[in-house]
Structure 1
Amino acid sequence: MKQHALRFAAGLLIVFALIGHVLHRYDVRFIDTLDALAYDTKIRLTMPRGVDTRIAILDIDEKSLAELGRWPWDRARMATLADTLFTRDGVALLAFDIVFAEPDESSGLPVLNRLGKSDLQDDAQFQRALPGLAAQLDYDRRFADALRGRPVVLGYYFANQGASSGAIPPPVLPATAFGAHPMTLFDWSSHGGNLPALQTAAGRGGFFNPVIDFDGSVRRVPLVTEYRGGVYEALSLAVVRALSGDAPLALVFDDPADAASTLAGLALRTPRGTLAIPVDANGAALVPYRGRERSFAYFSVADVLAGRVASGALRGKIALLGTTAPGLVDQRATPVGEVYPGVEVHANLIAGMLDGTLRAEPSFAGAVQALAVLIAGCAMIFAWPWQAPARATLLTVLLTGCVIAADLALWRYRAWSQPVASLLLAIGALFVLNMSYAFFVESRARRRFTQLFGQYVPPELVEEMSRHPESYSMAGRRAELTVLFSDVLGFTAIAETLEPEELAVMMNEYLGTMTAEIRKERGTLDKYIGDAIMSFWGAPMEDRDHARRAVAAALGMRAALAELNRTFAARGWPTLWVGIGINTGPMTVGDMGSTVRKAYTVMGDAVNIAARLEGLTRHYRVSILVGEATRLNAPDVVYREIDRVRVRGRATPVAVYEPLMTNDTWAAADAAAREPLAQWHAVLRHYRAREWDAAGRLLATLIERDPECGLYVAYRERIAMLRETALPADWDGVNTFDTK
């Protein structure tokens, strides 16, 4: 140890120097430059490219200036432009990346007013004509009239110098909305707004201040900012709110119960649900650039006014009025271009919010990076001296690759922006000092991996996962998965008919058989809840076919149960009837619980729906029910639509289906075997059209063919009840269930 003391001291000096930068005790411009370079590279490598046609850039370009004259144009022309866009072109919304700060005197109206009060005050004819002229020549009022009552968002800006001018809209939230949480938003001392008449007519508005990084590039834009006791919204956020019916804005904190936590995001409560918008501690969002300049549809304003735009080209689009003309100075340096139109920055933010693709830089990113530097650095410092050079080089390459891979994975799958330059510099600098450590022992990692996942997933999956253990984690994450719930119907009554020993043997055989079917389809066993089974697909190992495998497992469970019941009958045991519910959707998966006990499980709204579907099997007297998302993601199965239901906790109806057999089996069936499915779907059509007699006749035919089908009987009973019920005019055939 003594002979390596100098190396240890030098290594610790490097580690703690880098940690000081990571925790912002001081800034090292070289490291900031590397982080910016890494961020820009990830943006360019992963941007979707292509043209987003939902948003149209109305460009005040050089062509427009050549045809229409120098900027600013008179407000009469702007009024004509607004009227044209809404009445002829049918845009959904119009936003201005421009400030109309000064009155328009180009019409000569102020001169006429002065003459009316001086040289021509005694000219009766002039005095009679003046009011009519004023109505025609008050271009600001004409522009205000063109904005009034329409979905329009005006732009304005904040500053920290000079006096305020113009009007701005009221704040979207009071500063008191932060409660006891620390204020970390950008603050300003003045603003540059629009003429009061224009702002009053438009109603909405948003600021367009970007954040200029140390290298002059625009990578993020504040979506909310604090000004004189209020919280104001950015132009892009105002557009998204306007499209969502002026949805109310809420602040989301890291930990609402902790007064020391900082702003973590925004939420729009729209009629279609809550739209989450991640922001950093300054209320700023990273701009999700989709490509280089002109990643959105551009239309010259001159062409719009001249009617040279193709009919319908702007209909239903979000129109942003901005400029690319060099002389009007609205060009930005960005990761995707050194000269990039400022209006397109807003377009990228709007598209990102609508698509839910905004990336977050977590408030704990610095702490995570500092901890990573400390752990990796200390490990390398005290292990590298005992490694051979070749092995040290190999391990360094592997460690560097893992850091880069983890960063890319967070970027791609968790939408996180995590600075990594300090960590990579620590690895590189410590390698130069020729220190190495054993990163991990493969056999030990595999044993630990087996301990973590072996009780949940099939052994063959554990073996496959252990080849790349760095790719898997039990940490909580958000993913689209498929979850399955199964439960024995009437289990309490069954249990009362058997001795405890017999019941234990029976349930072990049942659970073992059902679990084998789940594992056959590579499912992750979540838990047993008495006689109920919960399992899911798509985690910890990613599986694009998770929905198909879950449905195949359910069909296998149904077939295996039929065979198992024959065995039980031979022993004199009761027959088991099982209900299975399957649903696909976004859910949180990971190791969850308390310090006493944890479990690798899933939770979320999609999980709750699966549990409710399992409960609905009793009502419809079928063995399996799946949700709409599962059916769409498992198309190689023939389904029977069962109903459209509204379950507790959800206002939106959910279509539910029963999987019958695979497409191959269905294709091999004869026409007689296929006929009942077509007749059943005809029953549903008559039922939803309130054609009770037609539905009843078809049901009678189906029941005669298959009197054991509980679904047919259930619908016959429901139709009999509805015949005696006075249904409202807007009855939509949706069945509402208030119980869980």
Structure 2
Amino acid sequence: MPRSSRLFRFLPLLAGLLAGALLLAAETPLLVLRNALFDQYQRWAPRPVTEQPVRIVDIDEESLVRLGQWPWPRTRLAELSARLTAAGVAAITFDVIFAEADRTSPAALARQWQVNDEQRRQLLALPDHDAVFAGQLAASPAVLGFALTSAPGPRQPATRAAIVNLGEDQRAWVPAFSGAVPSLPQFEALAPGNGALSFVPDRDGVVRRVPLVLRLGERILPTLVSESLRVAQAAPAIILRSAGHQQQLTGHRDRGGLGEIRIGALTIPTTPQGELWLHYSERPAAPALPAWRVLADAAESAALAGHIVLVGSSAQGLLDLRFTPFGLRPGVAIHAEALAQILAGDFLERPGWSRAAELLLAAATCLLAGFLALRWRALAAAGLALTLVLAGALASWLAFARAGLLLDPLPAQAATLFAFIVCSLAHHFVSEREQRRIRGAFARYVSPNRVAHLLANEADLAIGGERRDCSFIFTDLAGFTGLMEGIDPGRAVALLNDYLDGMIAIAFRHEGTLDRIVGDAVAIMFSAPLAQPDHAARAFACALEMDAFACAYAQRQRQAGIAFGDTRIGVHRGEVIVGNFGGKTIFDYRALGDPVNTAARLESANKHLGTRVCVSQAILDDLPPQAVRPVGRVLFKGKTQPLAIFEALTPADAERRAPVEVYAAAWQSLSDDADLATERFAELHAAWPEDGLVAMHWRRLQAGERGDLIVLSAK
């Protein structure tokens, strides 16, 4: 056997080692994929909603309309607490921080208002709102909230729960914070419970776990969920059981950190960090009762006896919204979800042995797929690799759906595919060398028509170019840099990708070739690589469809509160050199010539001309009459000959645009009678102030410019 063939025997082992190194190096991307997979499992099999003694008193939009904007006077909250206490609730949990004194208290009003001495004495004689609320807290099974921060705070929150640690000290595993924003001391001193309402979301902002304990310095603190359970059961302590202590009882020892938390009669399995994996229900787990109804009618709260009642807000203006696998939900709803899940005994777990098991499975499937890929036919080996991948996915899904276990099949699947690909390529290298060359060539192109042309014309892989008459579209998105600074970068990238997908799909439908993408800008060419006699018509129709899509997309985002900008488009044609440029390492298929630059400058000219779609006379020469308006003869910087350009008329601007006939008459007078042109454009600008092209000509005339020659000094 040739030496190279003998070395192939060790290729699966080498592939396995390399796959292991890649898995370790790609820990963060794999974590992102794992979270996405577990999110999908939840969407496929959400937790069934069962009746649990958890309810939400919702400070919703209607409550704010009926009872006034937030914050409400503390006397109103005291009344709400009294109503709920009288109904016999097990706990009243405020998903709110009372960090400041009530500004509507009589003493505060006496300081703020211009009143005489008698009126001030009368105000000061009235009960203090904070004192009323504090007294009610002492008489209610109330749980207050505080926020933990990364910046040191002036005061630590006071808690009533005793934290008991069984086993090894696992404080190092618990998420740590440096400071806190607590409620007022008089509230903390009288309320039976006080817990952190902070979440610890993943990097993508999605809340997948709810902490049951958090750490402030070296001090372990309860959270709103654990305190609600403790107060509801009148339990004195929260018991932390380390994974090491838990494993001593079972005879296993495979991880550190926390293993479970016990609160009263409830035992809750946790992550090593003391977090509860959330198994979301498809709809909110706890029914919500508007706060105004509880305050308006005591009978509304009668059915809440024995329930844990969370007081929080779903109003968008109060900004307590969190990302979940099912979209945005109020923070109070997530706390209610955790409580309902715990009371139902429906837990998701990622066991301590899961990571080791996943890596061992990855090693086994990697070696098996690699060895068989070297010995079996390609189709049979591919079938085995696919079977292993699907089996891993099925096992992971069944573990989730039937046992509530979060087992990640991705390492084994990635290692299997990696070993199969490496060993298959090695085994079939000689026979598939030509196919690999073609696949490598395809990887250098992005347009479907270019790939189809290469498959039919292999000789076109050569370096070089040819002269050809082509049409070009350049687009650019206004204000995207500012948008990136104003919203979450991940959200901005997702918006941009969605926008570019739509724009490029339109270009491909018109059989255009993607020349390049630069940030949010797109360049499309027509009549290359395949000659298209109607390339000008394709380019014009493509530009109109792109504009319609971009306008609709921007409008949707603006309705959602995102300041998405307009898209500017330039369309031009001319003779260029098209072909492969670069070298042997990589090809760059593109067009070179002045028409390419001119199309780009037409796009840029839109912002000076008040237009959105600029089309050159060269495009329109080959088309039947189109819905356009003449802009003028534009002389670009560095050019000696002006270019006649037109604005494409789109339905999106029909109501803001001057009638075509009226505009045409005014435009014609630019060359015939400057005074008449000034009068006509002044009338048009007054009647249609949002018509950008009319405004541009009116400003030119006001500045003393005459005729239809427009000189652009900037590129």
TM-score (norm 1): 0.52
Task: Find the residue that maps to 2:368 and give its secondary structure.
Answer: helix
Query: Would the alpha carbon gap of residues 309 and 404 (structure 1) be closer, same or farther in structure 2, given more than 3 Å must change?
Result: farther
Of the structure 1 ranges 399-408 and 104-113, higher mean CA displacement relative to structure 2 is found in 104-113
Query: Would the alpha carbon gap of residues 35 and 149 (structure 1) be closer, same or farther in structure 2, given more than 3 Å must change?
Result: same
Distance (whole Å) between structure 2 residues aligned to residue 185 and residue 9 of structure 1:
44
Task: Find the residue that maps to 1:252 and give its secondary structure.
Answer: strand
Task: Find the residue that maps to 2:208 and give its secondary structure.
Answer: strand
- How far the C-alpha of 1:77 sits from its partner, in A, is 0.8
Q: Deviations over 1:530-556 (max 9, x none)?
A: xxxxxxxxxxxxxxxxxxxxxxxxxxx
- How far the C-alpha of 1:373 sits from its partner, in A, is 1.4
- How far the C-alpha of 1:184 sits from its partner, in A, is 1.0
Distance (whole Å) between structure 2 residues aligned to residue 7 and residue 276 of structure 1:
53
Task: Find the residue that maps to 1:267 and give its secondary structure.
Answer: strand
Task: Find the residue that maps to 1:99 and give its secondary structure.
Answer: coil
Task: Find the residue that maps to 2:145 and give its secondary structure.
Answer: strand
What residue is the counterpart of 1:384 in the other structure?
373
Distance (whole Å) between structure 2 residues aligned to residue 415 and residue 237 of structure 1:
21
Within the candidate set 279, 282, 289, 1:288 is matched to 279
Task: Find the residue that maps to 1:360 and give its secondary structure.
Answer: coil
- How far the C-alpha of 1:111 sits from its partner, in A, is 5.0
Within the candidate set 170, 185, 202, 2:174 is matched to 185
What residue is the counterpart of 2:38 in the other structure?
39
Task: Find the residue that maps to 1:216 and give its secondary structure.
Answer: coil
What residue is the counterpart of 2:71 in the other structure?
72
Q: Which amino acid aligns with 1:81?
A: L
Q: Which amino acid aligns with 1:83?
A: A
Query: Would the alpha carbon gap of residues 391 and 59 (structure 1) be closer, same or farther in structure 2, given more than 3 Å must change?
Result: same
What residue is the counterpart of 1:109 in the other structure?
107
Within the candidate set 85, 90, 93, 1:92 is matched to 90
Distance (whole Å) between structure 2 residues aligned to residue 182 and residue 148 of structure 1:
31
Q: Which amino acid aligns with 1:76?
A: T
Is the 8 Å Cα contact of residues 244 and 255 (structure 2) preserved in structure 1?
yes
- How far the C-alpha of 1:101 sits from its partner, in A, is 0.4
Q: How does 1:6-405 map to 2 (within 5 A)?
A: 15-16=16-17, 18-20=19-21, 26-50=25-49, 52=51, 54-87=53-86, 89-110=87-108, 112=110, 129=121, 133-134=123-124, 136-165=126-155, 167-170=157-160, 172-173=162-163, 179=168, 183-246=172-235, 248-256=237-245, 261-268=255-262, 270=264, 273=265, 275-292=266-283, 294-307=284-297, 310=300, 312-337=302-327, 339-405=328-394
What residue is the counterpart of 2:635 in the other structure?
none
Distance (whole Å) between structure 2 residues aligned to residue 206 and residue 423 of structure 1:
41
Task: Find the residue that maps to 1:212 and give its secondary structure.
Answer: coil
What residue is the counterpart of 1:418 in the other structure?
407
- How far the C-alpha of 1:80 sits from its partner, in A, is 0.9
- How far the C-alpha of 1:21 sits from its partner, in A, is 6.3
* Stretches of structure 1 lacking an aligned partner (at least 5 in a row): 437-740
Task: Find the residue that maps to 2:235 and give its secondary structure.
Answer: coil
What residue is the counterpart of 1:551 in the other structure?
none
Task: Find the residue that maps to 1:58 and give its secondary structure.
Answer: strand
Q: Which amino acid aligns with 2:64?
A: L
Is the 8 Å Cα contact of residues 241 and 268 (structure 1) preserved in structure 2?
no
Task: Find the residue that maps to 1:409 and give its secondary structure.
Answer: helix
Is the 8 Å Cα contact of residues 161 and 237 (structure 2) preserved in structure 1?
no
Is the 8 Å Cα contact of residues 176 and 214 (structure 2) preserved in structure 1?
yes
Is the 8 Å Cα contact of residues 263 and 281 (structure 1) preserved in structure 2?
yes
Distance (whole Å) between structure 2 residues aligned to residue 200 and residue 21 of structure 1:
54
Distance (whole Å) between structure 2 residues aligned to residue 139 and residue 214 of structure 1:
41
* Stretches of structure 2 lacking an aligned partner (at least 5 in a row): 426-715
- How far the C-alpha of 1:150 sits from its partner, in A, is 2.0
Q: How does 1:440-451 map to 2 (within 5 A)?
A: none
Is the 8 Å Cα contact of residues 153 and 204 (structure 1) preserved in structure 2?
yes
Distance (whole Å) between structure 2 residues aligned to residue 5 and residue 198 of structure 1:
77
Distance (whole Å) between structure 1 residues aligned to residue 15 and residue 236 of structure 2:
50
Is the 8 Å Cα contact of residues 79 and 142 (structure 1) preserved in structure 2?
yes
Of the structure 1 ranges 280-289 and 6-15, higher mean CA displacement relative to structure 2 is found in 6-15
Distance (whole Å) between structure 2 residues aligned to residue 178 and residue 357 of structure 1:
26
Distance (whole Å) between structure 1 residues aligned to residue 170 and residue 188 of structure 2:
32
Distance (whole Å) between structure 2 residues aligned to residue 38 and residue 241 of structure 1:
33
- How far the C-alpha of 1:219 sits from its partner, in A, is 0.6
Task: Find the residue that maps to 1:357 and give its secondary structure.
Answer: coil
- The number of residue pairs the alignment matches comes to 419
- How far the C-alpha of 1:92 sits from its partner, in A, is 2.5
Distance (whole Å) between structure 1 residues aligned to residue 269 and residue 168 of structure 2:
19
Query: Would the alpha carbon gap of residues 254 and 310 (structure 1) be closer, same or farther in structure 2, given more than 3 Å must change?
Result: closer
What residue is the counterpart of 2:590 in the other structure?
none
Q: Which amino acid aligns with 1:151?
A: P
- How far the C-alpha of 1:42 sits from its partner, in A, is 1.0
Is the 8 Å Cα contact of residues 156 and 179 (structure 2) preserved in structure 1?
no
Is the 8 Å Cα contact of residues 56 and 319 (structure 1) preserved in structure 2?
yes
Query: Would the alpha carbon gap of residues 265 and 254 (structure 1) be closer, same or farther in structure 2, given more than 3 Å must change?
Result: closer
Is the 8 Å Cα contact of residues 8 and 381 (structure 1) preserved in structure 2?
no
What fraction of aligned residue pairs are identical, expressed as a percent? Answer: 26
Distance (whole Å) between structure 2 residues aligned to residue 227 and residue 163 of structure 1:
10
Is the 8 Å Cα contact of residues 180 and 259 (structure 1) preserved in structure 2?
no
- How far the C-alpha of 1:404 sits from its partner, in A, is 1.9
Query: Would the alpha carbon gap of residues 105 and 9 (structure 1) be closer, same or farther in structure 2, given more than 3 Å must change?
Result: farther
What residue is the counterpart of 2:418 in the other structure?
429
Distance (whole Å) between structure 2 residues aligned to residue 334 and residue 6 of structure 1:
50
Query: Would the alpha carbon gap of residues 308 and 15 (structure 1) be closer, same or farther in structure 2, given more than 3 Å must change?
Result: farther
Distance (whole Å) between structure 1 residues aligned to residue 22 and residue 159 of structure 2:
40
Q: Which amino acid aligns with 2:37?
A: A
Is the 8 Å Cα contact of residues 51 and 297 (structure 1) preserved in structure 2?
no
Distance (whole Å) between structure 2 residues aligned to residue 136 and residue 109 of structure 1:
8
Task: Find the residue that maps to 1:57 and give its secondary structure.
Answer: strand
- How far the C-alpha of 1:76 sits from its partner, in A, is 0.8
Q: Which amino acid aligns with 2:81?
A: A
Is the 8 Å Cα contact of residues 47 and 282 (structure 2) preserved in structure 1?
yes
Distance (whole Å) between structure 2 residues aligned to residue 195 and residue 21 of structure 1:
51
- How far the C-alpha of 1:307 sits from its partner, in A, is 1.7
Distance (whole Å) between structure 2 residues aligned to residue 224 and residue 20 of structure 1:
35
Query: Would the alpha carbon gap of residues 93 and 135 (structure 1) be closer, same or farther in structure 2, given more than 3 Å must change?
Result: farther
RMSD, matched Cα:
3.2
Q: Which amino acid aligns with 1:278?
A: P
Distance (whole Å) between structure 2 residues aligned to residue 291 and residue 362 of structure 1:
25
Distance (whole Å) between structure 2 residues aligned to residue 70 and residue 162 of structure 1:
31
Task: Find the residue that maps to 2:215 and give its secondary structure.
Answer: strand
- How far the C-alpha of 1:259 sits from its partner, in A, is 10
Q: Deviations over 1:88-140 (max 9, x none)?
A: x4323210111000001213413537999xx97xx7x779x56xx54634100
Is the 8 Å Cα contact of residues 152 and 204 (structure 1) preserved in structure 2?
yes
Distance (whole Å) between structure 2 residues aligned to residue 204 and residue 193 of structure 1:
13
Is the 8 Å Cα contact of residues 182 and 261 (structure 1) preserved in structure 2?
no
TM-score (norm 2): 0.54
Is the 8 Å Cα contact of residues 224 and 232 (structure 1) preserved in structure 2?
yes
Q: Which amino acid aligns with 1:142?
A: V
Of the structure 1 ranges 71-80 and 250-259, higher mean CA displacement relative to structure 2 is found in 250-259
